[in-house]
Structure 1
Amino acid sequence: MIHYIIQTIAFQLVFLIIYDVFLKKETFFNWNRIYLLSTALLSLILPFVKVDSFKNVVSQNYIVSFPKLAFETQTPIVLDEVVLQGVNTSYDMLWYISAILILGCALALLYFLYRIISIVTLIYKNPKTKQKHIRIVQMLNSSAAFSFFNYVFLGEKIDAQNRESILKHELVHINQKHTLDLLFFELLRIVFWFNPFVYMYQNRTSDLHEFIADSKAVKHNKKQYYENLLSQVFDTKAVSFINPFFKQSLIKKRIIMLQKSKSKQYQLLKYALLIPMVLGMLVYSSCSDESNHVKKQDELNLSQYSYSLKKGEELVGAKKEIHNNYEAFLKNNPEYVAWAQISSDESEITYSVHSKLEEIPEGLTRTEVSSSNGSYLMYTNLHNSNNGRPESGELLNKIDAVKEQIEVQGNISDKEEKGIELLFDMLTLDAESVNQKLIEDVQNFNNAKNKSELHQRISDLFLAVQEQGDMSVEEELSLKTLLTLVSKAGLNSSFYEEVKDRIEIPFAIIDKVPEFPNSKTFASQEESKVFFNNKLNMFVGQNFNTELANTLKLSGVQKISVFFKIGHDGQIKDIKARASHPELEAEAIRVVSMLPTMVPGEQNGKQVTVPYYLPIKFEVK
């Protein structure tokens, strides 16, 4: 709501600035009337308009289409959303703001009704006459003149000579239904009583009504009309939704406009300014909805995880604490990655956290940082300073590059499959033996012409292995994990046991999904999934501490995203959660960790790890 109000006020400010600077002094009164009415309405509608093509989208270079074989946690089984109900008996600031807004609307409505009653009272208490489609109300002991719908109110003190020109003026208001314009802004004043621009819109529209009526009525007797404007006693009551003939603050403007030469037709081009303004507002409203707003706030808070280290500086004190928070955040939030950027003179390195969707600067290469309690992705610009040998992490990048390319293209050609087989043979080769045929086959593979992208990446991997020599334990396990998923041997490979803890099989291809212990036999995977969903939903609902709504003074809908895995041994592991409050994350992790040991999933007769994503919606009343 607050975001909508801010957008509405901002749009009205821009529209009014354009009007005052470019259009206000022109004599295109009816065009100006249309401009004010249409832009006031547009300012209310545009915040709701979301044009998908205007949204900031990720470049297609960073969007991949996942094949049936997926890796790690990119395609977890998405469980049905768990809906929790909670009650918060305390009041927050938003409640007080809402109460003030509603109270202001109520008072504005009462004031509007009071003025309507005042007009109706004038109609019934004063003598009336009818002329064609209008009714003339003669106000006793008054020199005021104004109109309201089909009623013209004329003070009895106005002499007969002036009544005719005033009546012609008021007839223009009636015929062009100016009262509807003013009532439209009056309704806006009730809802947006706190918005000064609504009052400015109404004042400018009221002025235009007088200019329009003057331009029509002055044609009959210009001299007499000027005398009427200059000689009357200005005692009209200040009612914002009537069209008063005598209004002291407006007389000077009306005389100036009556004497002003008509604007040239080419000046109409100024109204074309509305087109880029509306387009710009559409782009803004399309890209700044509530959800995006929250995301931007989250991204702004990422600065708390940034720090820099000088060359040779030890990681101690406050920087050590930031580093610990930085690693904990990355391990629990897989949608974010780290950037490690070395300065050009290599005197300092800066660490920061960024969304995966953010464009990665040129020169940064991907690597995985692993430890006993989790891992995360990092992009670095480490320079090659090992006398021609690949740097630490470069071989892992080559392995990841092969894996990513397979994900992108979704299939493997015969030539590319040959490269995978050679990698497999290389890993299974006895370290002490020399296989001349394997060496020749690898050389022929690397020297082939017209290589595909995957062929080239496999060749780069062979060269990196050759240059580096021995692989580290992490590099060897990473390559074995890749080959277990894409080689013909697959889960039946000789090194499956070494990497089974690292392999995760998504729902799309798994033979048998995990199950709760003692579950009955199901006819299909889908039935098994539905049963699993329902039982997990019930488990979370029974064990989640909904009293946190009161403790944390929550309101509205709280979204909690939970990622976890059911290991090849049926154990629940690698639980990660993301929510607006750390306490909600901790509670979600606590509840999921209470799940019993499951019957593990199976693929090709092997028990495997299966990743899951569990969305929780915590509705707080």
Structure 2
Amino acid sequence: MKIFNLFIFLFFVTTLSNAQEAKQDFYKRSFIAYEGCEDSKDLERCYEISFHEFLAKHINRKALKDSIFFEAKKDTITVSASILYDENGKVVKRHSRISNPASNRIEGLEYLLDSIPTVKPVLDKKNNGVALSTRKLFGFYLNKAKDTIVPIFGYTPSEVPYEIIEKVPVYKGCDESMSNEDLKNCMNDKVVQLISENFRTNLAIKHNLKPGIQRIYVMFKIDKKGRVKDIVARGPHPEIEKEAIRVIKKIPRLKKPGYQRGKPVIVPFSIPIVFAVSD
């Protein structure tokens, strides 16, 4: 008799929390000071503008010509930058990433990490440096005729990756006053519980799946009104895929969608459902 054991992992990528999520009075400098931003009253805003200009200047013609950008159907593209600065203001490359969210590719962009200047780090009240992870989205106008990109300041794409969304979607039953990190954990727990309670495990036996580790990859989006849409599943059997889609459709309309720059946006999710089938 085959035994089916179900394990669910939500692919919610997280990085170190932004210093602003801690109490402001703990810091002498609560955000990094990028080159030329040392005297700015809004260090984060100055960083965002300066880094935007850095990307526009340093993304080279080779990167522009490869498929990351020039297979894009629209005239606007988005670049996602998740950068970890250590306590000395230097980029920690192994924990930093620059990519195009639409393709989730980093080929052709990883060289940018070598060019990011050292910044003045976050400082606590005792003037000790503090590491900081920044997560930003940058929009560009794509001029294919001239192989150039032009920064669009204040750009808000219609779709924002979950790991860098400014305000994460609020799942039913989660307290919207919680931090982003706690809201992510709350949603994780709620969705795992929903799948565990509703997934029909007998399908693995019914369709005679081979013993061993099996995986179902489920992708879906939370739209601007907090509703689940565009559910896609890839698994070891068509009926297993249908079951995964059926269960994800049970996710209730969220209390609030994701927000970026104060505007509701679409947020994509990926859920690998891993299960073991044994004799």
TM-score, normalised by the number of residues in structure 1:
0.24
Greater RCO (Cα-Cα under 8 Å, separation 6 or more): 2
Structure ranking higher in helix proportion: 1
Q: Which one has a bigger Cα radius of gyration?
A: 1
Structure ranking higher in strand proportion: 2
TM-score, normalised by the number of residues in structure 2:
0.49
